[in-house]
Amino acid sequence: MIYLIDDKKLRQEKDFGWPSEKLVKYKDKIHPIYTLDELQNRAKEIFQRENKVFYHESFLDNSIQNEESAIKRRSLEEFAKKHETFQLVIFSGSKNSRVIKKNIAHLPVAVVYQNLQLFLELYKESQPKLEHLAYGANPKIENELLDKLEKSLLEIEQQPAVINNQSCYFIPSFDKFISNPIKNATIAQFFDEEDDLEMSNFININLSHTKFDNIFIPLCYGNSLSDYNGLRLAAHIRCTYSPNQLSRIIIYGFVGIEYLLQNDYFNILKTKNVFLAPFSKQAFVNTTNISQTPLTIEELPNQIEKLKLVVPQNYEDNHSIVNEWAIYRWATTINTEDDAIKKITQKINSNLYFKYLQTIYPISKNNRLHEDNLKIQTNGKPKILYIDDEAEKGWYEVFCKIFYDVNQFDFEYLGDDFKNQTETQIIDSCLKKVKEYNADLVILDFRLHQNDFNNKDITKITSLEILKKIKKHNPGIQVIIFSATNKVWNLQALQNAGADDFIIKESPDLSTDHEYSKNAINKMVSTISAAFKMSFLKKVYLKIEGIEKLITISNNDIESDFHIRLKSNLSIAFKLLVETKHSAKYFNYAYLQLFQIIEDFSNLSYVFKEETDVYVCVNDKEVLVQQTLSDKWESAISFKDGKYQLQRKEVHIKPEERSRRLDTNFKISAILIFRLGFENSSFLKWKDIYTIRNTKAAHFNLENNLDEKSIYIILDFITNFINPQKQKETNINKGLKVKTFEESLELLKSRYKK
C-alpha cells in the first residue's frame, strides 16, 4: 500500500489534478493522509516493510511537531535504510532535482503527482520502480534528456540568431527555454501544450492570423521530454487549417534523429519543409537558409499521408474511433448537427488522428447529399426502432434527420440506460420495447454492452441474442445490423441468425474513396427502403401464427397428418416469401404453396367425403352435396354468376360419365356453403383466390406479378377455412335428399346392365 502523506489537499486537487474521487479509484493501492492525527493513529499500519510512503517534506511544519520535522524525516530515512522493501519518497515544492538512492527518493512535488497515475497503473501489475515515479514511463531516457537539456542550455549562444528577410515565430518551452532566441522573432506564449485539444487551441489562437515563413518548435517539452511533443505539434500545424499550415517548420532539439525513430510522429520529419535543427542559434540560421520549394495545398494530403498514423493507443478503442469518424462524416454529408455532433466535430477538429484523416480524406462540397436524396419510398408509415447504447453520441440525430425530418416516419430509439444494465437486462428490455412499440424495422447496433468489446466469441455478443429473440418473436420484423465491424465471420453469424441487412459504419480506411460517405448513405437509404418492402412479412407471420394456433392436439391420424403438412406448407411459404427480396416470382410460389393447404384441407375425409356420393362434414353431421343416380347426377349447388350457390341441379348423364371427378372450386364452394354456412362461394374472397390461382399464380409474369396483398387474402381465407370453430350448420338441411332403397337398387341395376 502507498501512503501519500501530504497536508496540502488543495494543491493536490487543484494544482495537480488529484481530487479525492480520483484517489478513490485506486483505493486498494493508495491511501492519502492529510493530518498529523491520522498519521499518528495509523503509524503502525503505515510503517510496514512492504509499504511505500510518499511524504511531503514540510508535512510537520505547520503542526505542533514543527521543530522536529527534520528529525522525523531523518527517522523515516533510517527506517527505509533498514528495510529495503520499504519505499520512501520525500517530495517538496522547493526541490528542483530528482534523486534516487536505492529505496529512497527525493523528488519535486510536481514530478510525484505527474507520474503518480503511471506508478499506480504499474503497481496494479507489479512492483513499480521509484524511477517510474521520478521519470515516468522511460526513466533511463528521461533522465538522460533532462541532463542533456540542462547542458544544452548552458552551451547555447547568448546572442540571438539573426535571420534576415524571413518572418519567424518562435515557440519556447515553458520551463527550460532558450532565452533571446532570434532577433525580431515573434515569441509565442506557450504553456507546454501537450494534449491534442491544447495544441489545436494554441494553433487556432496563435497561428491563425499572421503568416510566418518559419515556425520554430521545441522538440522536447512538457512533463515527459521523451514524448518528443514537438513532433506532434508539428503534425498538428500541418493538419490544422491556418495561414501557417504550409509554413516551414523547424523543430529544435538537443538529441539526434536516432532518438526519435520509435516515436509515433517521427514521419513528420519525412514531409516537405519540416526540419530537425540542433539546439544552437547558428543552426537556426543555417536551417532557414536551406533552399526548398514551398509546400503547396495540393501536395499536402500526399505529404501528410506519409505520417502513417495509427489509431492512438490512448483512445478508448478502435470502435470509438470508427463510430465518431462515421458520425462526423455522415452528419457532414447530410448536413445535420446537434450538441453531440458538435462535440464530435470539435474532437475531430482537435484530435490529431482525426485531423490527419481529415487532411488526407477531405469531404468536398460535391459529396454532400440533399434532402431529396434521402427520401425513402414506402407504403404506409412504418415504425422504426433504433437500438444503440451510443445513440446520443450523434447517430440519433443522423437517423432522425433521415427518418423523421425528411420522411416523417415513426422513429424511436432505445439505449440510454444500457450502461447500467447487464447483458440479460439489455436483451429483455430490447425485446419488450420491440413488442410494445410494434416495430416494423429494427436498426440494431452490434455492440451494446461493454463485454461485447472484449468478447471474441460472436455467439456471446448481446446483439446476436437480441436478433435471435426478435426473429423468434416474429421473423418478419426486419432487423438491420448497424456496426463498425467488417469481420466476415461476424457478419456471417449475424446473417445466419436472421439479420436482414447491414449498415456498416464508415471506418477511416473506407474513406480513401472520397465519395464513400455519399455512396454509403445512398446505400443505407436503399437498404431501409428494401427492408420496408419486406416488412409485410411481419404481418404475414402474424397471420401464419394465427393459423398455427388453430392446430390442436388430435387423436385423429388424418387430422394430425394434416397439421404436420399444414405447418410445413406454411413454413415453406414463409421462406418463399422471404425470398421475394430477390425476386417477385417467389410471391407466386408462396401463393401456390398456400393454395395447397386449401386443397389439402378440402381432401380431408372429415371435411369432404368423396365416394359415389359426395358429402360435406359439418361438426358430426354429413350433408349430401352430390349424388349419382342411374341416369343423372344431382347436385345441391349450382354454378351461376361466377359462383356456386344453393340451388339444386340435375344433369342427365351417359353411363360412362358416372364416375365424374370433382373440381377444386366445387369442393371448396361446397365446404364454404355447407361447412361454413355461407350463402354462396363468393365469401372470404374465394372467387378471387381461385381466379388468381388459375391465372397469375400459375403463370408468372413480371409485369403482372403477385404481391403481399394476395398473400394476406389467401392467408385470411385459410384462417377461416380450416378453423373448426367456423363451422355453421346454417345450410345442413339444404343438402340433397339421400336416395331411397329403391333408387339405390335401380342404380345398381343400371350398372349391372352394363
- Given the rule CB under 8 A, which residues bind another protein? 7-11, 14-16, 58, 61-62, 64, 66, 69-70, 73-74, 77, 90, 92-99, 101, 104, 106-107, 109-110, 150, 153-154, 172, 174-177, 179-180, 187, 189, 191-192
Task: Cell numbers for 615, please give them.
Answer: 358429402
State the Rg of the chain over Cα: 42
CA angle 137, 277, 227 (to 5 degrees): 15
CB 34 within 8 A of CB 6: yes
Distances (CA, A) of 737 to 627, 629, 681: 9, 12, 21
Residue whose CB is less far from another protein, 148 or 685? 148
CB 461 within 8 A of CB 452: yes
E-strand stretches of 590-660: 608-610, 614-618, 621-628, 632-640, 643-652
| Closest by Cα among 53, 154, 63 to 106 | 53
Distances (CA, A) of 468 to 35, 430, 492: 59, 12, 14
E-strand stretches of 366-447: 383-387, 410-414, 441-445
What's the distance, CA 537 to chain centroid?
A: 25
| Closest by Cα among 620, 615, 656 to 635 | 615
Q: Taking the complex as a whole, how short is the minimal distance between the CB of residue 233 and another protein, in angstroms?
A: 16
Work out the number of other CB atoms within 10 angstroms of the CB of residue 688: 14
Distances (CA, A) of 374 to 380, 503, 705: 17, 15, 28
Long-range CB contact pairs, 225-229, < 8 A, 24+: 225/142, 225/145, 225/146, 225/149, 226/136, 226/137, 226/138, 226/141, 226/142, 226/145, 227/194, 228/253, 228/259, 228/260, 228/263, 228/265, 229/192, 229/194
Distances (CA, A) of 338 to 342, 346, 406, 416: 6, 12, 16, 17
Distances (CA, A) of 44 to 38, 69, 268, 292, 507: 11, 19, 55, 69, 56
Q: DSSP secondary structure string, 558-570?
A: HHHHHHHHHHHHH
Distances (CA, A) of 317 to 118, 312, 314, 322, 664: 19, 9, 8, 9, 65
